[in-house]
Amino acid sequence: MRLRPLIAGNWKMNCTIEESLNLVTELLELTKDNTSTEILITPPFTSLQKVGELIKDSNIRLGAQNMHAETNGAFTGEISGKMLKSVGCEYVIIGHSERRGLFCETDKIVNKKTHSALRENLKPIICVGETIEEKEAGETLTVITRQVSRALEGFDSDLIKDITIAYEPIWAIGTGKSAAPAEAEEIHKFIRGLLSELFGTFADVVRIIYGGSVKADTIDTLMAEENINGALVGGASLNAKDFARIANFS
């Protein structure tokens, strides 16, 4: 079964409110005829409400780059899923390698955030991936198995349909390097098999997307692979023409 592709832009810590609105205004025009792909953008927290108002009733969905596992409380500087939902977010990225590496997020934290996101009716995009050291040591599949399994502990099969897995090899993020399409497909196929072991046929509706230096000139070959259901795009999502080309892949 061919799933509807998801092309998601992770803006990271970039764009003021004005810059965000300018970027989205251009993107809306460039993707207005695209009905075959689900397009998602995740601006910084400060831009979410204004961007959400601008893309309301359009073909572009709104998401956030992170969230706290608790609904409210004494967590200075944090944002809850309930807050994200209130400004129109439908998706949230969880467990990005920069969150894991720079902010010490563990598999347990990723699991708690995923449970919290679904309670708030947010669709989590769970990021998994190996470092260059793990890749060179032949540990890629072990790392992926651990990260996926622990992220999804305690889930019933009927909740899986709202989860997306993003395979982002850490060695490819922001480096200009990218996994070859066949290499990425191999890992995506492995993740699909792992999900099938955990959740049976429910795994067939889970989108598995690729991230790691995705560019306009590489998207077509990536999306030609059977088990690659979309892309999580970093730097290229900050350029409306580049991101539109990725979203409008052929």
Model confidence band, residue 196 (pLDDT cutoffs 50, 70, 90): very high
Average the pLDDT over 145-167 and give the result: 95
Evaluate if residue 109 carries a pLDDT over 90: yes
Looking at residues 54-75, what average pLDDT do you find? 97
Rounded-to-integer distance, Cα 178 and Cα 135, Å: 13
What distance in Å separates the CA atoms of residue 127 and residue 109, rounded to the nearest whole number? Answer: 13
Burial of 155 from C-beta contacts in 10 A (0-12 / 13-18 / 19+): middle
What is the pLDDT, as a whole number, of residue 12?
98
pLDDT tens digits along 227-236: 999 999 999 9
Buried b / exposed e over 61-84, threshold 16 CB at 10 Å, is: bbbbbbbbbeeeeeeeeebbbbbb
Does 1 score more than 70 pLDDT? no
Of 98, 105, 130, 168, which one is the catalytic site residue? Answer: 168
Instruction: Output the CATH code of domain 6-247.
Output: 3.20.20.70
| Two structure tokens written together for 52 | 């959400």
The band of 173, judged by pLDDT with boundaries at 50, 70 and 90, is confident
Q: What is the dihedral of CA 234, 98, 199, 92, to 10 degrees?
A: -60
Our answer to whether residue 168 is catalytic in this structure is yes
Say what the pLDDT of residue 177 is: 73
CB of 72 within 8 A of CB of 97?
A: no
For residue 236, the one-letter residue type is: A
Q: Which amino acid is at 192?
A: R
Question: Residue 212 has what pLDDT?
Answer: 87
User: What mean pLDDT comes out for the span 87-98?
Assistant: 97
The one catalytic residue in 96, 105, 130, 188 is 96
Beta strand 207-211 with 230-233: parallel, antiparallel or unpaired?
parallel
> Euclidean distance between the first and final Cα of the chain, in Å?
18
Q: Alpha-carbon distance 169 to 131, whole Å?
A: 7
Mean pLDDT of the chain: 95
Which amino acid is present at 238? L
d(CA 243, CA 237): 5
Cβ-Cβ contacts under 8 Å for 228 (sequence gap 6 or more): 181, 184, 185, 188, 208, 209, 210, 222
CA 250 to chain centre: 21
Which residue in 231, 228, 247, 229 sits closest to 239, CA to CA? 247
- Say how many C-beta atoms besides its own lie within 10 A of residue 36's C-beta: 11
C-beta separation of 243 from 29 below 8 A: no
115 is catalytic: no
Q: Which residues, 6+ apart, have CB-to-CB distance to 126 below 8 Å? A: 94, 95, 110, 114, 148, 151, 152, 163, 164, 165, 166
Residue 80 has pLDDT above 70, yes or no: yes
Q: What is the mean pLDDT of residues 57-68?
A: 97
Q: What is the pLDDT of residues 13-26, one digit of tens each?
A: 999 999 999 999 99
d(CA 152, CA 195): 9
What predicted TM-score, i.e. pTM, was given to this entire model?
0.96
